[in-house]
Amino acid sequence: DAGVTQSPTHLIKTRGQQVTLRCSPKSGHDTVSWYQQALGQGPQFIFQYYEEEERQRGNFPDRFSGHQYPNYSSELNVNALLLGDSALYLCASSFDSLTEAFFGQGTRLTVV
């Protein structure tokens, strides 16, 4: 079992560009959540997908959008990148809404 995999591991983008991050959940998991973690801070919840629908959303602007595919894999898209979007983006998958989450190793996004 490969666990949760994220790609790419590192990414450098220019302010104003758009970026897509990808996540494959752990086998058997149907729920995918995305988190943003700034340096020295705890992860902040962006949104969660279940059955291809956005089920919950955190306090992030509409520039952050996502998608979940029938195979449960997911994408996080960020438009009009700002310098402040530089962070570690974490994907987590789970099977049930009240069980433990499994995290990927994250994508380090740097906006210059």
Distance CA 20, CA 73 (A): 13
Q: Does 42 bind other proteins (CB under 8 A)?
A: yes
Contact 21, 106 (CB under 8 A): no
Q: Which own/partner contact pairs does 42-47 have at CB distance under 8 Å and 24+ positions apart?
A: 43/90, 46/76
Residue 4 within binding range of other proteins, rule CB under 8 A? yes
Cα angle 90, 65, 69; round to 5: 80
Q: How far is the CB of 82 from other proteins (least distance, A)?
A: 21
Asked if 22 is part of the footprint of other proteins (rule: CB under 8 A), the reply reads no
Distance CA 69, CA 53 (A): 9
Q: Name which of residues 88 to 107 contact other proteins (CB under 8 A).
A: 88, 90, 92, 94, 96-106
Which of 49/79 has CB closer to other proteins? Answer: 49
Neighbour tally for 13: CB within 10 Å: 16
Which of 16, 75 has the CB closer to other proteins?
75
Asked if 60 touches other proteins (CB under 8 A), the answer is no
| Residues forming the site for other proteins (CB under 8 A) | 4, 31, 33, 35, 40-45, 48, 55-56, 58, 88, 90, 92, 94, 96-106, 108
